[in-house]
Homo-oligomer: A and B are copies of this chain.
């Protein structure tokens, strides 16, 4: 396997001259300058501007939803995205699948001494763009710097606050035998894209990360009155991890139809080379939705009408609990057990 010339068409730091110093993380003048010069212009909003220890925000009428994620993806830039975009989309999606409208975000930066300021600038640019596109505000943050070797470049944490849609109850416990399982598009793109970029693998046609915000897809289903039982964005551990968790919490089993799984040719090929099952590979912009059987067709049509759901599919159904939490019916009709991932085949995918 060799390095294809266009394997990582990602921004490369333009200048090496300015780097993060330990002093940038220590609460003094350099840190203030970093925040004013690099952060504020890219994330500016009224709540952030005072740069106090916390952000004071309006009260919310509805119930609060709170979600947090740290991002340690390697490399920081990969085909189709970067750690900044991922951090915004990931937390937007976690809120959306709880039935919340994402509103306010915090941003925690852990920087390794020696990181170029240019890299940081590009990541912040990306955070800002993604936040604007998703209609969320980064209202407060924190910056720490650790000495060379004590972290790998840059880690992010995003915590999001959302407001629950009135009356919205989504939970694995709502899932019933007979319900249908949908996914909003092709599986495994993010995991393969990051792996190929990190290991410089030529796995055939180039795969782009699917990193994307899912709150519009969720809103389409809920606004239309689809009886949605449970939503999850399938990230680490892939769709398999989501189905296993749900099967356990709801005390049901799930039957997946292999023929129905949307997987791109490129990902299918890469998975064959690597010996991976696309159901185990990470996504960063794919909704798993469990809906009442009678509403499944409508849910599918709604998803397919959105640019992020063009390849949506009904991939299986919920059954009464039996010995096997998740089974897959293969292309030739034989049933096999789908393993719960123990770990994951691909570390540092998000």
Q: Which A positions have Cβ atoms within 8 angstroms of B? A: 21-32, 50, 52-72, 74, 93-95, 97-100, 104, 106-110, 139-142, 144-147, 149-152, 155, 157, 159-162, 164, 171, 232-233, 235-237, 241, 244-245, 249, 282, 340-344, 346-350
A98 and B149 within 8 A (CB): no
Contact of A147 among B32, B57, B348 (CB under 8 A): B348
Write the nearest CB–CB distance from A20 to chain B, whole angstroms: 11
Q: Which residues of B contact A21 (CB under 8 A)?
A: 343
Contact of A343 among B28, B98, B106, B232 (CB under 8 A): B28
A110 and B150 within 8 A (CB): no
B25 and A347 within 8 A (CB): yes
Q: Which residues of B contact A63 (CB under 8 A)?
A: 56-59
Contact of A141 among B68, B107, B350 (CB under 8 A): B68
Cα–Cα, bound, A72→B150 (Å): 9
Known A52-B171, A145-B347, A161-B161; contact A340-B29, beta-carbon cutoff 8 A: yes
Cα–Cα, bound, A322→B69 (Å): 45
Contact of A66 among B25, B110, B140, B164 (CB under 8 A): B140
Question: Chain B CB within 10 Å — which of A60, A142, A346 has the most?
Answer: A142
Write the nearest CB–CB distance from A43 to chain B, whole angstroms: 13
A108 and B70 within 8 A (CB): yes
Cα–Cα, bound, A223→B211 (Å): 48
Known A72-B110, A157-B70; contact A344-B28, beta-carbon cutoff 8 A: yes
Q: Which residues of B contact A66 (CB under 8 A)?
A: 54-55, 57, 104, 106, 139-140, 159, 161
New A-B contacts (13) at CB < 8 Å, excluding given A28-B340, A72-B144, A159-B159: A23-B343, A27-B241, A27-B341, A53-B93, A54-B65, A54-B94, A54-B162, A64-B161, A68-B142, A70-B109, A71-B144, A108-B157, A161-B161
Q: Which residues of B contact A161 (CB under 8 A)?
A: 64, 66, 161
